[in-house]
Amino acid sequence: MTDQTWIPVDVDTGRPSIARIYDFHLGGSHNLPVDRAAAREVVAMMPELPAILRANRAFLIRCVEYLAGRGVRSFLDLGSGIPTEGNVHEIAQAVNPQAQVVYVDNDPVAVEHSRRILLGNDLAVAVDGDLRDAVSILTDPEVDRLMLGPGEPVAVLMSAVLHFVPDDAEAADLVAAYRDAIPSGSYLTVSHASLHEESAARIGRAAEKYSRQVAPMKVRSREQVADLLKGFEILAPGVVYCEQWRPGPDDDPAPVYPLPQACAVARKP
């Protein structure tokens, strides 16, 4: 792709981006040579990575459909990434045209392209913010406009982001900050890089390489992911691998070995 007019002027084009690497793996066009090089190096160590990201996206779509079907109409998508097929507002508003969505990301490409596709949609907005700064996000005027009405349940989406908060105490405090801010009856959805016996060593090496080249990350077990959800009621089927969470007839068949991305949907009592 030679036309780079889509790149905001303040973007460091010499450094790979989490959002742009994800975009590349999902077949998008908003990525740079440095992103593609980093993506290919990790895939050389972990060939199942593109399938993991597709399974993660399919999980996100299923859980948004599920929650919108249960009457949730406010969605806060933290670390939303670059727009791709099956965006949260498209899925939620197909179920309920009045569904409201706030996308939050600290990648300027992700924010700019989210704003472009949301032109004319008064019920969805993109906010430039870091999910680790919960206070700033929760007090943002746009978040306040579309979210957190009195007693209104909210779905907080943390899709493939908490593994980029490697300190366990910080990750737990971060989840708790959003939990304490949302009303009873709200939901949290999480997907997280995880392990299983068949691939633990390989995934550990790939995560170390990603941490050095792109951003620090930590792979956590399903038990550790469950620990992050204290104060929530984890809905059935529990903390499972993404392709195991309420699969639909159109989803890819589960592989022989589960893809190492844990997920859960939890409700605040």
Q: Where are the domains of the chain?
A: 18-267
Torsion sign (Cα): 89, 91, 94, 96: negative
pLDDT band (50, 70, 90) for residue 171: very high
Q: For residue 259, which of 238, 245, 248 has the smallest C-alpha distance?
A: 245
Report helix, strand or coil for 220: coil
Residues 109-113 have a mean pLDDT of 84
Helix (H) or strand (E) holding 170: helix 168-181
Residue 213 has pLDDT above 80, yes or no: no
pLDDT more than 90, % of the chain: 51
pLDDT at 156: 97
**pLDDT tens, residue by residue, 72-92:** 999 999 999 887 777 999 999
Helix (H) or strand (E) holding 19: helix 18-25
Type of residue at 259: L
Q: For residue 105, which of 140, 72, 62, 73 has the smallest C-alpha distance?
A: 140
Give the predicted TM-score (pTM) of the model.
Answer: 0.86
Detail the DSSP E strand segments found in 90-134: 100-105, 124-128
Report helix, strand or coil for 244: helix
Please give the Cα distance from 185 to 6 (Å, whole number).
40
Q: For residue 88, which of 27, 79, 38 has the smallest C-alpha distance?
A: 79
**pLDDT tens, residue by residue, 52-65:** 888 899 999 999 99
Reading the block at residue 101, the tokens are 């969505």
Please give the Cα distance from 192 to 183 (Å, whole number).
24
Reading the block at residue 267, the tokens are 């409700």
Angle between helix 200-213 and helix 33-45 axes, rounded to 10 deg: 160
pLDDT at 202: 65
Residues 182-211 have a mean pLDDT of 79
Instruction: Could you please state the CATH topology (level 3) that the domain comprising 18-267 is classified under.
Output: Rossmann fold (3.40.50)
